Amino acid sequence: MIEIKVPVLPESISEATVVLWHKKPGDSIEMDEVLVEIETDKVVLEVPAEESGVLTEIIANEGETVTEKQLLGTLEDKPEESASRAPNKEQPVAPAKTISEQPKAQQAPKKVPQIGNRTEERVPMSRLRKTIANRLHSATQNTAMLTTFNEVDMSSIIAMRNSYKEVFESKYGVKLGFMSFFVMAAVEALKKFPAVNAYIDGDDIIYHAYCDVSVAVSSDRGLVVPVLRDAHKMAMHDIENGIIDFANRAQSGDLTVEEMSGGTFTISNGGVFGSLLSTPILNSPQSAILGMHKTQQRAVVVDGEIVIRPMMYLALSYDHRIVDGKEAVQFLIAIKDALEDPTRLLLKI
């Protein structure tokens, strides 16, 4: 009999939730095949089979809370000659049919009949969703959060991207997106306004001599914020590669706790979902977050004339306890100026 146990959990995490069993008792299992997924506060871990065999029992059902090294189920080794044969469906290896049905019954949404055909569903929040909810609530309750707005004319960036996107992709093997411009503009602004790159710890202010930019990435399991370490040292193709890698691994659940920890400043792009304007919530303990939005053709006045330009609203939410209103406004203007004249990014001015 082979025991299936919860793997070693990431540092500072003491428990997890059983999310999904990929197999049921009686199923034939191959070595390294994923048996079950468990979810911590930040990541989903896959538990593979250490040996080939037959799943005999599920001990920790879907939805249950488990701890490190706790027994999840059991696997029975089988003779080599029978391992190549699928188990007889009419005579399962492990007569545990009620056990395999139980997890589904526990996780199924509870429908409560109402008047006529109206129903309600009660579905437990995932551990990741609960963590996100608690962090967002904490940020609004424990900071003096304020948001300032501005807008940026995207004409110059769009023109530069159209001119160099093919040669950029040919040389670096990655597409030239808009996010790298925003990361670089934010880094230069953070250098000029160090309070925006700092945070409060008790009665002290912690200033960072580096820029670790958290990038909000949407996944099926919720919003995650992996960190571009030392973004102040990164070239545009490094930033684009990093963001694409984060986005892909966020969908597959392969981001690690370490990759989502820390960060001195956050950028969130609600524009990819069509948001025209929003007030982003701080990513505690950081003191500021930049919100990007949808680029939209609008009528604006340039040199006394009304013209049509691709415009984007920018939002900067900040902790007023550490960042003064004047600093916040000037910080956002510095980003706007860098984006409207990308040459500034190359000259570092």
What is residue 325's predicted lDDT score, i.e. its pLDDT?
95
Find the DSSP H helices in 28-151.
80-83, 97-107, 127-142
What is residue 282's predicted lDDT score, i.e. its pLDDT?
93
Q: Let me know if 320 is a catalytic residue.
A: yes
What is residue 107's predicted lDDT score, i.e. its pLDDT?
47
**Residues 243 and 135 grouped into a single domain:** yes
**Residues 13 and 83 grouped into a single domain:** yes
**Residues 175 and 286 grouped into a single domain:** yes
What is the domain-level CATH number for residue 42?
2.40.50.100
CB neighbour class for 287 (10 Å; exposed up to 12, middle 13-18, buried from 19): buried
**Residues 234 and 97 grouped into a single domain:** no
Position 51, amino acid: E
Eight-state DSSP code of residue 280: P
Structural domain harbouring 35: 2-112
**Residues 148 and 228 grouped into a single domain:** yes
- Mean of pLDDT values over 242-246: 93
**Residues 164 and 206 grouped into a single domain:** yes
Place of tokens 């900040």: 318
Is residue 117 one of the residues assigned to a domain? no
**Residues 104 and 134 grouped into a single domain:** no
pTM: 0.71
Indicate if the pLDDT at residue 253 is higher than 70. yes
What is residue 82's predicted lDDT score, i.e. its pLDDT?
43
What is residue 178's predicted lDDT score, i.e. its pLDDT?
93
What is residue 244's predicted lDDT score, i.e. its pLDDT?
93
Q: Identify the bridge partners of residue 222 per DSSP, sorted by sequence position.
A: 219
Look at residues 85, 83, 67 and name the one whose alpha carbon lies nearest to residue 75: 83
**Residues 232 and 317 grouped into a single domain:** yes
Q: Pick from 112, 147, 162: which residue ends a domain?
A: 112
Burial 46-58, CB ≥16 within 10 A → b, else e:
bbebeebbbbbbb
Residue 244 φ then ψ, to 5°: -65, -40
**Residues 54 and 153 grouped into a single domain:** no
Is residue 124 one of the residues assigned to a domain? no
Indicate if the pLDDT at residue 252 is higher than 70. yes
Q: Give the rounded distance of the alpha carbon of 99 from its chain centre.
A: 34
What is the domain-level CATH number for residue 285?
3.30.559.10
Is residue 120 one of the residues assigned to a domain? no
**Residues 233 and 316 grouped into a single domain:** yes
Who's near 102: CB < 8 A, 6+ residues apart?
58, 61
What is the band of 86 on the pLDDT scale with cuts at 50, 70, 90? very low
Q: Let me know if 208 is a catalytic residue.
A: no
Find the DSSP H helices in 151-262.
155-172, 179-192, 236-252
Contact 63, 127 (CB under 8 A): no
Given the residues 32, 137, 230, 320, select the one marked as catalytic: 320
Place of tokens 């790298």: 180
pLDDT tens, residue by residue, 108-134:
455 555 566 788 888 877 777 777 788
Q: Pick from 112, 140, 167: which residue ends a domain?
A: 112
pLDDT tens, residue by residue, 286-345:
999 999 999 999 999 999 999 999 999 999 999 999 999 999 999 999 999 999 999 888
Mean pLDDT of the chain: 85
Indicate if the pLDDT at residue 83 is higher than 80. no
What is residue 80's predicted lDDT score, i.e. its pLDDT?
54
Number of domains present in the structure of the chain:
2
Is residue 203 one of the residues assigned to a domain? yes
Lowest mean pLDDT among 58-62, 102-106, 195-199: 102-106
Given the residues 32, 77, 230, 324, select the one marked as catalytic: 324
- Rounded CA separation 219/230 (Å): 24
**Residues 177 and 225 grouped into a single domain:** yes
